[in-house]
Structure 1
């Protein structure tokens, strides 16, 4: 492949990643709207029903069909991944309702730093002093956002941090199972396990929904499927290390939705802290790419 073709693929991957962040931000705004009126478990359950149908459709179209997608070398880890992701989604939606999109995403953006910090003990990867410095700076940013010890500290502020931790573990397990399972297999298990788990919980919290909100729910399900499809395409045409930094744009779009549609505020400490977290995260991803190229 020529350098020009690679650059073209990278540009396409970047645009697909940008589109992914826009779609996921819209999804988060709709999730907040619905979760303010209905039980979080029910909202996430219906969303995962559609997600499961989507991954099963993709699996059926692939070579080997659903039978091939079910075959995993790490079935219990795949189950754990599915449970982690669906739990993380529930926790994050609660954060949207309690804290808003701006502050929730400002804290959640630390998840790449958590992945870098935990990659050593979980995956046995080496993390050098430069990345450890970036990780510490990023967590300083999180402390600036949370402001522990300042006035009355709300325990709800820790909810998006828990979500980031769960998503980091999910990401690390995804990297681990990739040693034996294809992306399509992991994607299938994520959707089906999540849908099954949420059905066992969410059915106990079923509530009648208005016609208008069913429209929003359908839009939420479509954005979830479209967002994941765009993400798959982005990673298919470009290296992850080249396009991953653009995932931080979700903080910008989601914050815009929170500010202009939900009337949220952008406090100075949140802006400063989020800036540190994003800068540290981008540096960490860059160092990871450099180490991979050197290796």
Structure 2
């Protein structure tokens, strides 16, 4: 896999919450999906041990734990990988990742939890070690126990020091031209950082970031860190799944991946190029940015390539 200069390094480490509060540049996160909800405790512990072993030498600022929900209401097309309910990320963190010694960003699909559940969870969190990203319903038709604005208000009342993140979607900005307005509204509701959907369309991500930056200037607020998500693809099945999730893979790159002897190497190198491009652009604008690395596939080779990608984005 091609070499690349290190995009950023971390000297004296400060906590992730402090980095976010200070609008620091260069946050680096690594994302996991918890095991299936049907996983027995011994197997969950084994998965956690393997995961921590992979991550122990990575110089990352925090671990992201996704909260997975069925999104078939958003996309009626057949899902390339079947939807399987997963363990609550908060439970996986508390019961199986006790040896993780750095902060965690726990996603909450807020529609899955009622107000009392959310209030109890918020009250238990140490804002120095846990941050959260609230995710709204995947479509307006989806049944939900809690609305996103209510969850945001709860956080402000119950645990106002807990740093709250929001989701930003460059593809939605390409369709509507209004994603930056959603970001500003979320920021005004208490969001202090954003994590994007997986980025393969660099132009869409730059347009969203540019409009967000200038929108903040017009509104009289400072932009908060925008953390771009990168994910490698080891097969066209993984590409199909990303596209099902709503990720735009440019036609030229789709062609490169589909004709490559090793699509994982092609996507790995593209992720590095994307990171360098977005990092340079964000610095030129004056908007704090960072990266979140994930593997949407559970194939070992793709997971290990994701770990390698995170390592390459920062010196050990």
Give TM-score, length-normalised by structure 2.
0.28
Q: Flag the structure with more relative contact order, 1 or 2, with Cα contacts below 8 A and sequence separation at least 6.
A: 1
Higher strand share: 2
Give TM-score, length-normalised by structure 1.
0.30
